[in-house]
């Protein structure tokens, strides 16, 4: 199979423009269209839907795209094994991460990464909602939690302890809970209708942070909104330490039940599909994030 045509197809799928993809590869529009048509004939399916105004991936194109990327990654790996890998990593890297974490800690350090690797373009999907890494055709993703999915490989970036927080204004009005059992008497903020979270004490005791309809005044699906609602005094919430560290330091949030942490097994992971070859662009981005964020957590600096 012609890998140049595969490169053209992958670019066209990203840009949704065959001519623009061809221009990137130094092809005239007519040549690019002809190569896509030849590729479609080879695979026996229409990969792109064309109209006079736009291009879109067909259902078959969506299914074929991850395999096209895999073939190109394998080609790069084969050249690398022979010492012929490009000296400067390049190409488009599709990266997905929590919008809250990315806004706080990834976006501010991107200028340095892009200066180091000017041939790498980043396509970011930033959302606190869950998504499928493989179906989304992402090269890399940042996840917080355990990795039960056997189809993924990962590298730990940092620990992700969760703590119970409230605003001073809330505590002045409602009092400070002295034990987890007292949380049932307070107004709680829940993240995306989470199942009950286990609170583990330093002495090994356990309890649950379990918002119920009668006590849960707010349900959110965005980490930043949850933090802002907590700062506003709406209620008590469980947050990642990296998320609320600045507010804890400034005093706009107070850690309550300091002898307890939630979800103590969680961590921040950089993950990618097992089937993917770890290409140069992905490898250098992982190394950069570990260097800047993981070695000494950036929120403690």
141 in Cβ contact with 99 (< 8 Å): no
Strand 120-126 with 91-97, pairing:
parallel
Query: 91 and 10 in contact (C-beta within 8 Å)?
Result: no
How many whole angstroms separate alpha carbon 176 and alpha carbon 48?
Answer: 59
Has domain 91-160+266-300 been given CATH number 3.40.50.720? no
pLDDT tens-digit map of 228-271? 999 999 999 988 889 999 899 999 999 999 888 886 677 888 98
Look at residue 137 and give its three-state secondary structure: coil
Non-local (6+) Cβ contacts of 16 within 8 A are 54, 55, 56, 57
Domains 91-160+266-300 and 162-262 share a fold: yes
Task: Sketch the domain layout of the chain as residue ranges.
Answer: 3-81, 91-160+266-300, 162-262
Instruction: Render pLDDT for 59-92 as a digit per residue (tens, 0 to 9).
Output: 898 989 988 888 887 777 776 666 555 556 788 8
Q: Compute φ and ψ for 240, nearest 5 degrees.
A: -65, 140
Where does 3-81 sit in CATH, by number?
A: 1.10.10.10
Per mean pLDDT, which of 18-27, 110-119, 124-133 is the most reliable? 110-119
Instruction: Match domain 162-262 to its CATH number in 3.40.50.1110, 3.40.190.290, 3.40.50.10330, 2.40.40.20.
Output: 3.40.190.290
* pLDDT at site 110: 95
**Rounded to an integer, what distance in angstroms lies between the CA atom of residue 53 and that of residue 49?**
11
């Amino acid at each position: 199979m012609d890998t140049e045509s595969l490169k053209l197809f992958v670019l066209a799928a990203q840009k949704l423009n065959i001519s623009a993809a061809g221009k990137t590869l130094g092809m005239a529009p007519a040549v690019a269209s002809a190569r896509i048509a030849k590729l479609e004939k080879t695979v026996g399916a229409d990969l792109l839907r064309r109209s006079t105004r736009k291009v879109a991936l067909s259902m078959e194109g969506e299914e074929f795209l991850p395999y096209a990327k895999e073939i190109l990654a394998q080609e790069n790996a084969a050249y690398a094994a022979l010492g012929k890998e490009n000296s400067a990593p390049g190409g488009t890297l599709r990266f997905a991460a929590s919008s809250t974490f990315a806004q706080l800690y990834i976006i501010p350090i991107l200028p340095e990464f892009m200066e180091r690797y000017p041939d790498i373009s980043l396509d970011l999907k930033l959302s606190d909602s869950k998504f499928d890494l493989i179906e989304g055709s992402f090269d890399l993703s940042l996840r917080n939690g355990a990795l039960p999915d056997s189809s993924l490989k990962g590298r730990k970036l940092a620990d992700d302890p969760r703590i119970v927080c409230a605003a001073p204004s809330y505590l002045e009005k409602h009092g400070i809970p002295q034990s987890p059992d007292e949380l049932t008497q307070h107004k709680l903020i829940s993240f995306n209708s989470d199942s009950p979270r286990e609170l583990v004490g330093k002495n090994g005791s356990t309890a649950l942070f379990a918002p119920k309809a009668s006590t849960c005044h707010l349900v959110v699906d965005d980490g930043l909104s949850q933090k802002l609602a907590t700062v506003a005094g709406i209620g008590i919430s469980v947050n990642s330490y990296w998320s609320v560290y600045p507010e804890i330091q400034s005093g706009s949030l107070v850690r309550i039940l300091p002898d307890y942490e939630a979800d103590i097994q969680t961590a921040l992971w950089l993950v990618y599909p097992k089937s993917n070859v770890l290409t140069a662009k992905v490898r250098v981005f992982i190394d950069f994030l570990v260097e800047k964020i993981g070695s000494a957590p950036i929120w403690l600096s």
